[in-house]
Amino acid sequence: MKDKLMPYVLLAPQILLTLLFMIGLVTGITQSLGVIPAFGLKKPTLLYYKEVLSRPDMMRSVLYSLRIALFSSVLATAGGVFFCGVCVMGKKTQGAVMRIIQLPIIVPHVVTALFIINIFSRNGILARAAYALGMIQEQQQFPMLIYDPHGIGIIMAYLWKEIPFIIYFVIALMANINGSLGEAATNLGAKTWTVFWRVTLPLCRNTIISGFLIIFVFALGAYELPLLLGATVPKALPVLAYQEYIHPDLRNRPYAMALNGIIIAISLISSLLYFLMMRKSVKCLTEEQ
């Protein structure tokens, strides 16, 4: 009897908060459909979505956002996992070094943008070093790494923040598995690298994919870095949304929400894929009990 009620009791706060979250989400969606009583907009309509999707630069922005998010997330996950692997195999997963490496997690994104500008801009330290070393004669010869239509600066900024995040996310589990199961495999004669590749990595798969998804969706929807480091055209999706949001004519709000709706749609598709992949493991875990 008690056992039957227990999970619901435990879940109560989570459910309450989820409810609030859903209300926020649904309100956002209704706003994107043009229903904002505060501004006198009462009829639901797909007009805003139509207009937003038919903008000439829309496709470019979507591709720009997707490209930045994919590149940064894939590279960050690969880099993070690689680094975790190196440390775990070398059995060095604690200590001052690890702490410093996890520092970028606490740095706000706007400060990260400052760093990137300081170092990689045409005025930055790298450019000046190149000049001092005689590699370039004029400021303009230094390649355009930020404010460029490829989003290189933005990707670098995300990498700086997300590689440590992936490390943080994955290393505890990886160390644990490599320590216990990995140890057992080594004792049976397997080489360290084989152990990592065939035992540890597959068992960490879910956590790694979780981490990937979190940073992918974040990169897709955050506006600060593309705003500060991006090109004038194309603009990333969240930047477009933000600019519509701050438009002085408050009746532009539905455009912002429609753009946000598109971002949410892409994110939801990704999360659905994730959910399908994770389904098996949640089931397994609980069936064991």
Partner 1 sequence: MKNKRKSIFISITQFVLLAAILVPAVTLLLWIFTERWTWPDLAPQVFSKRAIFEIAGRKKELLQILWSSILISTVVAVLSAVIGIMTARAILLYRFPGKQVVYFFTILPFMVPATVFAMGIQITFIKMGLNNRITGVIIAHLICSLPYAVRLIMDGTAAVGSRLEEQARVLGASPFKAFYKTSLPMLMPVILSAVSMSYIVSFSQYFLTLMIGGGNVKTFTILMVPYLQSGNRNIACIYSTLFLGVTLLVFGVFEWAAGRFMKHGGGEFYTSE
Partner 2 sequence: MKKRISAALLAVTIAFSMTACGNNERPKEENKTASVTEEMSFETMKEEAKGTTVTFYGWGGDEKLNEWLDNTFAPAMKETYDITMERVPMDIDQVLSQLSGEIQAGEKNGSIDMIWINGENFRSAKENNMLYGPFVDKLPNFQDYVDAKSKDVTLDFAYPIEGFEAPYGKAQIVMIADTAVTPDMPKNAEDFKEFVRKYPGKVTYPALPDFTGSAFVRNIIYEICGYEQFLDMKGDKETVKAAVEPAMAYLRELNPYLWNEGKTFPDSSTTLDNMFSDGEVVLNMTYDAYGTAVKIADGAYTQTTQSFQFEKGTIGNTNFMAIAANSGNKAGAMVAINEMLSPEIQADRYDTLKVIPVLDNSKLSKEQKASFDGVDLGKGTIPQDELLSKRLPEMPAELVPMIEEIWTEEVAGK
Residue number with CB closer to partner 2 (86 or 250) = 250
Q: Please write down the long-range contacts of 91-97, taking CB distance under 8 Å and 24 or more positions apart.
A: 93/171, 93/175
Q: Which of 10, 96, 188, 246 binds partner 2 (CB under 8 A)?
A: 246
| Spatial separation of the C-alpha atoms in residues 107 and 117, rounded to whole Å | 15
CA distances to 8, 75, 145, 154, 251 from 117, rounded to whole Å, are 50, 21, 9, 10, 35
Which one, of 161, 63, 80, 162, lies nearest residue 113 by Cα? Answer: 161
3-class DSSP state of 36: strand
Residue number with CB closer to partner 1 (56 or 132) = 132
Tell me how far, at minimum, the Cβ of 52 lies from partner 2, in Å. Answer: 14
Residue number with CB closer to partner 2 (135 or 184) = 135
Tell me how far, at minimum, the Cβ of 239 lies from partner 1, in Å. Answer: 11
- Written as one letter, the residue type at 223 is Y
Tell me how far, at minimum, the Cβ of 2 lies from partner 2, in Å. Answer: 18
Question: Which one of the spans 1-9, 156-164, 211-219, 243-251 is the region binding partner 2 (CB under 8 A)?
Answer: 243-251
- Residue at token pair 């997963």: 93
Residue number with CB closer to partner 2 (113 or 213) = 113
Interacting residues of 216 by C-beta distance below 8 A, sequence separation 6+ = 69, 70, 73, 270
Q: Which of 109, 126, 148, 150 binds partner 2 (CB under 8 A)?
A: 148
Q: Which of 74, 125, 250, 269 binds partner 2 (CB under 8 A)?
A: 250
- Residue at token pair 């004519």: 249
Torsion of CA 90, 92, 93, 99, to 10 degrees: -130
Binding partner of 150, given partner 1, partner 2, none, CB within 5-8 angstroms per partner class:
none
- Residue at token pair 């009583």: 37
Q: Which of 37, 95, 134, 189 binds partner 2 (CB under 8 A)?
A: 37
Tell me how far, at minimum, the Cβ of 30 lies from partner 2, in Å. Answer: 14
Over the window 200 to 239, marking each residue x when it contacts partner 2 by CB under 8 A and - when it does not, the resulting string is ---------------------------xx-xxxx------
Q: Tell me if 144 contacts partner 2 by CB under 8 A.
A: yes
Binding partner of 148, given partner 2, partner 1, none, CB within 5-8 angstroms per partner class:
partner 2
Q: Is 206 exposed, middle or buried (0-12, 13-18, 19+ CB in 10 A)?
A: middle
Binding partner of 265, given partner 2, partner 1, none, CB within 5-8 angstroms per partner class:
none
Whether 174 and 212 have beta carbons less than 8 Å apart is answered as no
Helix 109-120 vs helix 125-132: crossing angle, to nearest 10: 10
Whether 229 and 155 have beta carbons less than 8 Å apart is answered as no
Binding partner of 72, given partner 1, partner 2, none, CB within 5-8 angstroms per partner class:
none
3-class DSSP state of 228: helix
Q: Which of 147, 160, 190, 206 binds partner 2 (CB under 8 A)?
A: 147
| Site residues for partner 2 per CB under 8 A | 37-39, 56, 122-123, 139-140, 144, 147-149, 227-228, 230-233, 243, 245-250
